[in-house]
Structure 1
C-alpha cells in the first residue's frame, strides 16, 4: 500500500506537535517499521496504540498486518487517522478520548499487544496501570513502549543501581522487561530535550501467595525514604521489620540493595493487605 510521506500528511492537515499533550512526531518509516517488529509477528493480531498522533507508528503496525485500535485525544489528528483507516479498510479503529479514562481490556475484548510511542506526560501512569492489579496474567500479551530513556532505564534497572526503585520492582516481579532499542532525540520532530528508549515487556508467572497491593505497599514505604535504612523506612508498616529479620534480611540495608525476589518474599511474609 503506497502512502504519502508523513511530513506531507502533517503539512496538509496543518498539524504540529502539542507540548501540552507531550507529543513528538516520528517520521522515519524504517525506524517505525523496526519498532513495529519488536513484538514479533503481528499478522491479524489485535494491537492497542495510545496517542498515535498523525499515525506514524500506526502505519508501521498496519503494514505489519495488525488490527489496530488507536486511542487519540487530540481531535486535530483524527482526519489524518481517518485517511489511514481508508487505506487499510477494516484494520484501524480510532477511539477519541483519554486513554487513562478507558478500560483497555473491555475495549479490546480479546488478547492484544500494546505498542505506543507514549505521550511523555502520561507514559508512566499508563505503564503502572497495565502492570497493576491482582488479576494475572493480563489480557495484553506484550508491551512495546517508548519512554524517555531515563524512565526506560528505571524499568529495567538492577538492584544496587541509582535507577533501581519501585518501577523496576513493579515491572519485574511478574513480567520480563528488557530495553529493546534506544532512539536518538534527533529522530523526532520537534526533537525533545532528552533521549528516548523502547522497553519490551511480556507477562511472566505470578509468584504464589503474594498480593499486588501488599507488594505496592512495601515498595512505597521502602523507596519512599530510599536513603534510610529499611528498619527506619519500614517502621510504619506493622510487622515489616520483624518480617525482614525472619527472612534473614539485614534491616540496616537500604531498599535499593534488595532484589525483586526479596521484596516478593517480604510481601508474602506480611500476607494480604
Structure 2
C-alpha cells in the first residue's frame, strides 16, 4: 500500500465538494471509518460492494481491512480520487461508474458479498428495500452495513408498539436480523447534515415458509396505509384480509403498529394459502 495523502487534501486537490443533489456528505475521520468497516466482522479477502464511495473515505477503511471492494459511483468528479486508491491497493478495488439503482448487484459481484456503504440520502431507502425484497433467499448478499439518517435507522429496527414501527421494520425483520450498530453525530460529516445518522447492520435469517414477499408487502401496505385505523378498517379493502385475521384469532380492533412481525407473516401466509 502506497502512502496516501489525507482525505481533505485529496478533496482539495480534485476540487471536490459534496453534491446536495446526489445526497452526499463526506466523512474524514479515519478512526471512525475503520470502526464502521469493522462492523461486518473480518473482511480479509471478502467481496464487498460499496455504493456511493465519493472521494473514498470508507473505501480506504475497507481496503485497509483487506476487503476486495467493488464501488459503484455515479459522480464522475470522484473518479480520479478513486483511481488513486486503485493504484494504492493493486487488485483490491474495482470502480464502476453507474447508477446503483440500475445495476444488478448479484450479477456484478458474481459471488457472495457484503454491502458496506454510507448511502446517499436520496436513494438509501430504495436500495435497502430492493435488497430486502429479493425473491431469492438466502440472498446473494451476506450482510448489509449501511448508514442512514437516524430517523430511518430507528424505523428499520423498531419494535411493535413504538411510533417508528411500520412497513420498513416488518420488511427488515421478517426474514433478517437487524440491529442499530452505531450512531454517528452530524458534526462528523462535511458538510454537516441537518440530522443525526446511524449505522444499521442486517444479516439474512431463515425465511418463514409459505409466504411471499409480494403478499407480505400488500398486507403491510394496507395495514400501515391507514395506521390510525383498526385492522377491520385498514384491511377491509384487501381481499381475504379480514378472514385471515379472524382465522388467526387476531383482534381486529387492534391497530397496525401493535401487530407483531410474526402476526403479519401469519396473515400473509393465510392469504397465500387461500389463493392456492
TM over 0.5: yes
**Secondary structure of the structure 2 residue equivalent to 1:150:** helix
Partner of 2:21: 20
Residues 218 and 267 in structure 1, CA contact (< 8 A), matched pair in contact too: yes
Q: C-alpha distance in 2, partners of 1:216/1:36?
A: 32
1:242, distance to aligned residue in structure 2 (A): 1.2
Q: C-alpha distance in 1, partners of 2:93/2:139?
A: 23
Partner of 1:210: 211
Structure 2 unaligned segments of length 5 or more: list them: none
Deviations 1:142-188 (A, max 9, x none): 00000000000000000000000000000000000000000000000
Residues 181 and 199 in structure 1, CA contact (< 8 A), matched pair in contact too: yes
Q: C-alpha distance in 2, partners of 1:12/1:134?
A: 44
**Secondary structure of the structure 1 residue equivalent to 2:61:** helix
Partner of 2:223: 222
Partner of 1:255: 256
Q: C-alpha distance in 2, partners of 1:161/1:190?
A: 32
Q: C-alpha distance in 1, partners of 2:134/2:245?
A: 24
Pairing 1:193-204 to 2, within 5 Å after superposition? 193-204=194-205
Structure 1 unaligned segments of length 5 or more: list them: none
Give every structure 1 segment of 4 or more consecutive aligned residues whose post-TM-superposition deviation is greater than 6 Å.
none
1:72, distance to aligned residue in structure 2 (A): 0.2
Deviations 1:194-243 (A, max 9, x none): 00000000000000111111000100000001011111111111111111
**Secondary structure of the structure 1 residue equivalent to 2:145:** strand
Deviations 1:87-131 (A, max 9, x none): 000100000010000000000000000000000000000000000
**Secondary structure of the structure 2 residue equivalent to 1:200:** strand
Partner of 1:181: 182
Q: C-alpha distance in 2, partners of 1:239/1:129?
A: 27
Deviations 1:218-269 (A, max 9, x none): 0000000101111111111111111101101011110000000000000001
Partner of 2:70: 69
Residues 134 and 213 in structure 1, CA contact (< 8 A), matched pair in contact too: no
Partner of 2:36: 35
Q: C-alpha distance in 2, partners of 1:242/1:210?
A: 16
**Secondary structure of the structure 2 residue equivalent to 1:271:** helix
Partner of 2:122: 121
TM-score normalised by L of structure 2: 0.98
The alignment status of 1:143 with 2:144, answered yes or no, reads: yes
Q: C-alpha distance in 2, partners of 1:63/1:168?
A: 33
The alignment status of 1:130 with 2:131, answered yes or no, reads: yes
Q: C-alpha distance in 2, partners of 1:152/1:259?
A: 19
1:19, distance to aligned residue in structure 2 (A): 0.2
Partner of 1:268: 269
Partner of 2:158: 157
1:134, distance to aligned residue in structure 2 (A): 2.2
Q: C-alpha distance in 1, partners of 2:60/2:40?
A: 15
For these two proteins, the number of residue pairs brought into alignment is: 273
* Two-structure CA RMSD over aligned residues (Å): 0.8
